[in-house]
Amino acid sequence: MNAIQNSIESLLNDLGLDNKLKDIAQKVFSNERVSFDEGVYLYQYGSLGYLGTLANYIRNKKHGDNTYFNRNFHVEPTNICVYTCKFCSYSKLIKHREQGWEYSIEDILNTIKKYDGQPVTEVHITGGVIPKQDFNFYKDLFKAIKAHRPELHIKALTPVEIHYILKKAKLTYSEGLKELKLAGLDSMPGGGAEIFHSDIREEIAGGKCSAEEWLEVHRSAHALRLPTNATMLYGHIEKYEHRVDHMERLRQLQDETSGFNAFIPLKFRNQHNEMQHLPEASVIEDLRNYAIARIYLDNFEHIKSYWAMIGRNTSQLSLNFGVDDVDGTIDDSTRIYSMAGSEEQHPSMSIRELVQLIKSVGRKPLERDTIYNVVQDYSSVIFEEDEKEKARLYN
Ligand code: V47
Ligand code: SF4
């Protein structure tokens, strides 16, 4: 045993940890993978301080202080949906379509045009699932967006939508995704994953694509060099072992393809949905969950706290619990979380606010594009308003 390992050993002894937590910490410090049982043990017995220390160690080793955000906006083509996920606060059934919205390609293009001349880099497109918005609708939509603004990155469609539209079009995932890519699709977001385990998935999201189908769509996307993200909806009826099972399946696919960019834990928000009787997870549990994700998903480069869903304060705290990305400017263009009770009722942050959020916890703000190329380093950019505030506080 070398000197560093000796001092880690004695530090761990001083912390009064049980042997299993000590072993897990040793594994993390020597870059070894944590097992399924150890993942469950972390959820059961890892304290916030312990988990934060390990996750922060990994985060700092991977990224130092680098913390990423982008300039993005969302398009939600419809909130009408053939599915009835119990956690969803946003969708309306087709029979109540008069209560929802359903945009045409022209409507969406008009939204895209509102950003002409603004330096946004990504449009995130996802929403409900309806027969009318089929494979050809999305192909034509992507072509129209690219014809208008070729450099705008299109991150669009989850396996829920892909599975539905391609089944209807009688195409395999690979055939369909190939055509969508040719039409302009650049990458896929991480939605629709919920909890993979069938005991939970059938209860909260019965009828939509299965875990195996979700994973297969991402496998096909990765084979076509379409990068994707992955999410996990936590804090409802699932148990700790279901969360670890979810991350285990993602870790295995990532071993196979290396196609995932970021993992995004999504906290279940309980307003205006069929599961509103369930309490929400605490902030402590949110932070523990980010930390365990950072520890367990050793082959994921990025862990994102989606500030529109978790709120900007928890997102800021998460930067010391394994998170290195907070998502983007959003420009009040998504309704999914405000309708579910997020504290961010009109999610929109300026570059200055994002930079301030990151800098004030001692991290380095980097604007990225969707695939994590750095667009601009903001660490030494000074905003006039912040200078004035500094002068007021100091003098
Ligand atoms: O799949 C719906 C979730 C997801 C609720 O890839 C809810 O960069 C909590 O996936 N409480 C869609 N969550 C959003 C999504 C996403 C968001 C930001 C960035 C990226 C990315 C992906 O929202 C759905 C579902 O899991 N969701 N309702 C709710 N009440
Ligand atoms: Fe439809 Fe998505 Fe809502 Fe489920 S979460 S009901 S698939 S919009």
Instruction: Determine whether 379 is exposed, middle or buried from the number of CB atoms within 10 Å of its CB (0-12, 13-18, 19+).
Output: middle
Find, among 326, 323, 346, the residue nearest to 334 by Cα: 346
For ligand 1, say whether the CB of 260 is within 6 Å of any of its atoms: no
Using DSSP's 3-state secondary structure scheme, residue 61 falls into helix
Nearest-ligand number for the alpha carbon of 208:
2
Pocket test for ligand 1, best of 266, 272, 323 (most atoms within 8 A of CB): 266
Find, among 71, 153, 67, 149, the residue nearest to 333 by Cα: 71
b/e per residue, 299-322, with b = 16+ CB within 10 A?
Answer: ebbbbbbbbbbbbbebbbbbbbbb
How far is it, in rounded angstroms, from Cα 253 to Cα 340? 30
pTM of the model: 0.96
Sites in the chain below the pLDDT cut of 50: none
Q: What angle do CA 302, 323, 335 make, to 5 degrees?
A: 90
Rounded to a whole number of angstroms, the distance between the first and last alpha carbons of the chain is 53
Structure tokens at 290: 């980010």
The secondary structure of the chain in percent helix, strand, coil, rounded to multiples of 5, reads 45, 15, 40
Neighbours of 212 (CB within 10 A): 11
Which residue type sits at 121?
T
How far is it, in rounded angstroms, from Cα 179 to Cα 82? 24
Looking at ligand 2, which residue's alpha carbon is closest to its atom 5?
88
Using DSSP's 3-state secondary structure scheme, residue 260 falls into strand
pLDDT value of residue 341: 82
How far is it, in rounded angstroms, from Cα 172 to Cα 152? 27
pLDDT value of residue 1: 55
Helix (H) or strand (E) holding 284: helix 283-296
Looking at ligand 1, which residue's alpha carbon is closest to its atom 23?
191
Query: Where exactly are the structural domains of the chain?
Result: 2-63, 66-377
Pocket test for ligand 1, best of 124, 302, 336 (most atoms within 8 A of CB): 336
Looking at ligand 2, which residue's alpha carbon is closest to its atom 2?
128
Nearest-ligand number for the alpha carbon of 130:
2
Superfamily of domain 66-377: Aldolase class I (3.20.20.70)
For ligand 2, say whether the CB of 191 is within 6 Å of any of its atoms: no
Give residue 193 CA to ligand 1 midpoint distance, Å. 9
pLDDT value of residue 92: 78
How far is it, in rounded angstroms, from Cα 143 to Cα 137? 10
How far is it, in rounded angstroms, from Cα 249 to Cα 344? 31
For ligand 2, say whether the CB of 128 is within 6 Å of any of its atoms: yes
pLDDT value of residue 165: 98
Find, among 3, 51, 1, 4, the residue nearest to 28 by Cα: 51
Find, among 113, 141, 110, the residue nearest to 127 by Cα: 141
Which residues does 35 contact at the CB level (< 8 Å), separation at least 6? none
Give residue 190 CA to ligand 1 midpoint distance, Å. 8
Give residue 91 CA to ligand 2 midpoint distance, Å. 6
Neighbours of 280 (CB within 10 A): 16
